[in-house]
Amino acid sequence: MTLTKERRIPNEPVLAEDFSLMGHEAIWKVMLRKFMKNKLAVIGAVLLFVIIGAAIFAPWLAPKDPSQQVLLDKLAPPGKDYPLGADNLGRDTLSRLLYGARISLLVGFASVAGSIFIGTVIGAIAGYFGGMLDAVLMRVVDAIISFPSLFLLITLVTIFEPSIFTLIGIFAVFGWTGTARLVRGEFLSLRKSEFVLAARTLGISNTRIIFSHILPNALGPIIVSATLGVGGVILAEAGLSYLGLGIQPPTPSWGNMLQSAQNPQIMLGAWWYPLFPGFMILLTVLAFNFVGDGLRDAFDPKIDD
C-alpha cells in the first residue's frame, strides 16, 4: 500500500499516481485502525499528549517560579509546599520539570525538523537522479556516519558555546544521514513507477515530480523516522546536559537537573531529586518509541488490518 493520490494537473489528464484504488481518505482510515490496534502505541500517544500539553501550559501549571531559590528549603522532601520535593538550591522540582519539558521538546522537535528537511532533500535528489550525483552524496553520508557520534557532539559543543540554538543546529546538521539513506531507498524504488514515467511523458519538471508525485509516497517512512528521532535527540540532549555540555543553568532541563543531583549524598539522602527528571526522560523517550513503532505498523502494507 502506497501513499499517493490522484492529482488533476491543469490542462493535463489525471495521473494515476500510486495511491492505490482505495482512495486517500480510506487509506488513512485503515492506517488509523492499525495504529489503534497497537495498545502500546496508543498509550505512548496519550503520554505524549499529556507531556506536550504540560509543557505548553507550564506557566499556568507550575506552582512556583522554577528559578526561585529558598535555601532554607533545599532538598525538602515531597510534601504540601513542594509536591515533588526541592532541589539542592531550594527550587521547586515540579516547576522545573514542567519548564524542563519545554526545553527538551523544543530541542527534540526543532532538531528533527531540520534534520528531516536536509535528509529528505538530499535523499530525494540522490535517489531520483542517481549516477555520479548519487555516489558523491552517499559518500558524504558515509563520511559523516564514520565519525563517532558521541565524540563528535562533545567536540562541537565544546568548540561552540553551549546553548539551545547550538544544540539544535548541531543535531540538525549532523542528524540527517539516516533520513537521507531512507528517502534515497524509497526514491530508487519509486522513480521507475508508471505514474513517474507518465509524468515525464507529459513534460512535468523534475522538481514537481520529486516533491509532488514521488515524495508523498515516501511520507510514511519519513514520519516514522522523525518520531523515533525526537526521542533519540531528547536522550542525547539530556546526556550532554548531564555532562555539563548542554543546556546551562539556571535554565531548567531534565539533563542538568540530573547533573546537579549526581552527588552520592544527594542520591542517597534525597532520592526524589534525581528520580523525577530521570523518570521523565525515560517516559518521554519510551512514548516516542511506542508511537514510532505504531506508525511503522500502520504504514506497513504487509501487516493485516
pLDDT over threshold 70, residue 6: no
pLDDT at 24: 57
pLDDT over threshold 90, residue 174: no
pLDDT at 105: 93
pLDDT at 9: 42
Q: What average pLDDT does this structure show over 169-177?
A: 89
Average per-residue pLDDT for the chain? 84
Tell me the pLDDT band of 304, cut-offs 50, 70 and 90.
Answer: low
pLDDT at 241: 83
The better pLDDT of the pair 14, 33 is held by 33
The lowest-confidence range among 137-146, 148-157, 275-284 is 148-157
Among 253, 278, 231, 242, which Cα is nearest to 111's?
231
pLDDT above 90 covers a percentage of the chain that reads: 33
The better pLDDT of the pair 8, 168 is held by 168
pLDDT over threshold 70, residue 17: no
β-strand partners of 86? 92
pLDDT over threshold 60, residue 16: no
Distance CA(240)–CA(77), nearest Å, equals 27
Q: Is the dihedral of CA 105, 107, 110, 113 positive or negative?
A: negative
Q: Take residue 281 and report the three cell numbers written for it.
A: 526522560
- Spell out the alpha helix ranges (H) of the chain: 24-37, 39-56, 58-61, 93-129, 131-146, 149-159, 164-174, 177-190, 194-201, 206-208, 219-242, 254-259, 264-269, 272-299
How many Å separate Cα 152 from the centre of its chain?
A: 20
pLDDT at 41: 92
pLDDT above 70 covers a percentage of the chain that reads: 89
pLDDT digits (tens, 9 = 90+) for 61-113: 999 999 889 888 888 889 888 999 888 888 999 999 999 999 999 999 999 99
The better pLDDT of the pair 270, 183 is held by 183
Contact predicate 44/287, CB 8 Å: yes
Q: Take residue 296 and report the three cell numbers written for it.
A: 511503522
Q: What pTM did the predictor assign?
A: 0.82
pLDDT at 25: 60
- Domains contained in the chain, CATH given: 101-299 (1.10.3720.10)
